[in-house]
Structure 1
Amino acid sequence: MKALQGVEGQVQWGEVPTLSCDVGQVRIRIAAAGLNRADLLQRAGQYAPPPGASDVLGLECSGVIAEVGAGAAWQVGDRVCALLPGGGMADEVVVDARHVLPVPEGVSLVEAAALPEVYATAWLNLFQLAALQPGEKVLLHAGASGVGSAAIQLCKAFGNPCWVSVGSADRLAYCESLGAQGGVLRHDGLDDLNDFGPFDVILDPVGATYAGINIRLLAMDGRVVLIGLMGGREAQVDFGQLLAKRGHVLASTLRNRDDQFKADLIADLGQHVWPLFTEGRLKPQLARTFARADAHGAFEELAGNQVNGKLVLVMDDTLS
């Protein structure tokens, strides 16, 4: 089958073997795949797949089930989306059936490709690891990103006022349209966030350059959840400030979690989050789609860091 891989810093289509569909798995004929920063890192040779995972790019996809392994609770023809450790940018993928969710009512297959990774990431880090409680205040760095746009909507749905840091006034307006209370432009500095804090939970994909300000902005018993290193990996911090606030710093990744952890997370999403799409309280934030022939253009668009929401690569436009 055809699949997209990272080769010497570029993306390249090639032939890869078709996998068997074993017990507890399903085969999905892929309609579309969401793009994530992890794909950029893998393309650059900086983020290897977990042991045993496909080296094909793509951490989420949507499509139609083409084969069901023994014990899997799906039917051939079901419209689904899936969280993947890799393999989403291909003609088809074989995945643990427990990592699959139905396409929400009213959501297209293409839109559904933009849901699993960002909503799983936002839900895991805000509501499971940080144990966000109703009314607690949240700060989302890179608020207009795919994860940020999902997190804003979840905060609004579950009663958590949130603020953002972003790169432009247009992106701030976008975040506010989703439900953010306000925020700051990062090139103006982050000190004005003091006007909105302190924050009970801070979700940070930036890392080193934001480490000090995060601790200063933290509320008593607050939690910083680190999910990326866009701003570097080494920083000097004042542990005295952290100790005085009884603060917590959590570091979190999703891709290398084990199958049972992901199954439990997907089940939680299905119970608490997916119904909100049907109710219209959550909406896919699809910024732009690209044809599979323009995979290079899709990756360059994402690398430009100007995307509000998600980019999706359409793999098979005959599926609907």
Structure 2
Amino acid sequence: MKVIAITQPGEADVLKLQERPTPDIAESEILINVKAAGVNRPDVMQRQGKYPAPDGAPADIPGLEVAGIVEKSNHDRWKVGDKVCALVAGGGYAEYVSVPGDQCLPIPEGLSYIEAAALPETYFTVWTNIFDIGQFKEGDKVLIHGGTSGIGVAAIQMVSALGGTVFTTVGSDEKKAMAEKLGAEKAINYKTHDFEEEIKAFTNKQGVNIILDMIGGEYTARNINILSTEGKLIMINAMNGRMGQVDLLKVMSRRLTVTGSTLRPRDSKFKRKIGMQLEEKVWPLLENKTISPIIYDEIPLEQAAEAHKLMESSKHIGKIILTF
């Protein structure tokens, strides 16, 4: 099979097309003939040598989400020919990938392989953090940093559709317009406005219940300042630095929660639980078009380096997908 391999840690051009043996499948696994694969920030970090694959995943083939057709199955639910999307621990930039069947979901009715490849990593991440860890409830106010990233466009739509009020930060007026079109109550261009002051003004200094942050660094103290009583700050990345200041007195007096997660190393049992919740609560919203995957660009597998350069430019709004 054809794969995109990381030939050495470095810039995007270290990604090269290679031939590898098609993987075998173990008990409870399926083999997917991949039609499309999502591109994510962790893929870029893995390529740079900053995010090694967990045990059992290919060390030099990135890719955390795919969509395609079941080629072989050792799993009770899936049969040959089924159309699925899957959350994988690595190896998604390949024509075939083996994955535990519990980490797969049916492609929602009416969605293409390209649209379905935009779902697993993104939607699993949003549900895990905002709805599972964050214990989101209808009426909550949620601040989502990086509102036009793949995570951001999914989170805005999911929170809005399930009864929340969304605030978000973005890097341009074009992205501001898109975030608000997707359902954000207010999108803030962080390059021209202070998001802390904007949130305080817009919420009458009451703040927000949940913050999903992928920025870290100096955002940390400002996030703490705009959390409401018993609010939750949930970290999923630290693009601007892993060290941030936390005013412990504010944490104690307002009973705040500061937490975070990484999805990739979690076991299949955990991912199955999240997948079941998505299939019940979110898949119907995709099928009736209440929410939709936002695809920015489709790039052939052979041009994976260009996809990574686009990801690093942060020009995109929504998902970048590799096509096969």
Q: TM-score, normalised by structure 1?
A: 0.96
Tell me how far apart the structure 2 counterparts of residues 16 and 8 of structure 1 sit (CA, whole Å).
19
Q: CA deviation at 1:22?
A: 2.0
Q: CA deviation at 1:18?
A: 2.3
Tell me how far apart the structure 2 counterparts of residues 32 and 150 of structure 1 sit (CA, whole Å).
18
Quote the residue 2:70 is aligned against.
Answer: 65
Question: What amino acid is the match of 1:62?
Answer: A
Q: CA deviation at 1:29?
A: 0.2
What's the secondary structure of 2:272's corresponding residue? Answer: helix
Say if 2:23 and 2:96, in contact at 8 Å, map to a contact too: no
CA RMSD in angstroms, aligned pairs only: 1.1
Q: CA deviation at 1:237?
A: 2.1
Q: CA deviation at 1:15?
A: 2.6
TM-superposition CA deviations, 1:84-139 (whole Å, max 9, x none): 11011101001000111111111111111111111111111000001011001000
Matches within 5 A, 1:101-250: 101-188=105-192, 189-190=194-195, 191-197=197-203, 198-250=207-259
- Runs (5+) with no aligned partner, structure 2: none
Say if 2:17 and 2:302, in contact at 8 Å, map to a contact too: no
Question: What amino acid is the match of 2:66?
Answer: C
Tell me how far apart the structure 1 counterparts of residues 214 and 168 of structure 2 sit (CA, whole Å).
12
Quote the residue 2:267 is aligned against.
Answer: 258
The range that moved more, 34-43 or 16-25, is: 16-25
Quote the residue 2:99 is aligned against.
Answer: 95
Tell me how far apart the structure 2 counterparts of residues 44 and 58 of structure 1 sit (CA, whole Å).
14
Quote the residue 1:75 is aligned against.
Answer: 79
Say if 2:218 and 2:245, in contact at 8 Å, map to a contact too: no
What's the secondary structure of 2:178's corresponding residue? Answer: helix
Tell me how far apart the structure 1 counterparts of residues 26 and 220 of structure 2 sit (CA, whole Å).
44
Say if 1:5 and 1:43, in contact at 8 Å, map to a contact too: no
Question: What amino acid is the match of 1:35?
Answer: V
- Runs (5+) with no aligned partner, structure 1: 316-320
Tell me how far apart the structure 2 counterparts of residues 235 and 267 of structure 1 sit (CA, whole Å).
35
Q: CA deviation at 1:53?
A: 1.2
Quote the residue 1:4 is aligned against.
Answer: 4
1:49 and 2:53 aligned:
yes
Tell me how far apart the structure 1 counterparts of residues 243 and 171 of structure 2 sit (CA, whole Å).
22
1:284 and 2:293 aligned:
yes
Of 84, 91, 109 in structure 1, the residue corresponding to residue 88 of structure 2 is 84
1:275 and 2:276 aligned:
no
TM-superposition CA deviations, 1:207-244 (whole Å, max 9, x none): 12210000000000000000000010112221111211
What's the secondary structure of 2:180's corresponding residue? Answer: helix
Question: What amino acid is the match of 2:63?
Answer: G
Tell me how far apart the structure 2 counterparts of residues 57 and 74 of structure 1 sit (CA, whole Å).
24
TM-superposition CA deviations, 1:282-319 (whole Å, max 9, x none): 1011111001221111110011011111000002xxxx
Question: What amino acid is the match of 1:234?
Answer: M
Question: What amino acid is the match of 1:214?
Answer: N
Say if 1:26 and 1:72, in contact at 8 Å, map to a contact too: no
Say if 1:152 and 1:162, in contact at 8 Å, map to a contact too: yes
Say if 2:234 and 2:260, in contact at 8 Å, map to a contact too: yes
Q: CA deviation at 1:16?
A: 2.6
Q: CA deviation at 1:196?
A: 2.6
TM-superposition CA deviations, 1:134-187 (whole Å, max 9, x none): 001000000111001000010111000101011011101110010000121112
Say if 2:108 and 2:287, in contact at 8 Å, map to a contact too: yes
Q: TM-score, normalised by structure 2?
A: 0.95
Q: CA deviation at 1:276?
A: 1.0
Q: CA deviation at 1:17?
A: 2.9
What's the secondary structure of 2:191's corresponding residue? Answer: helix
Report the identity percentage: 37
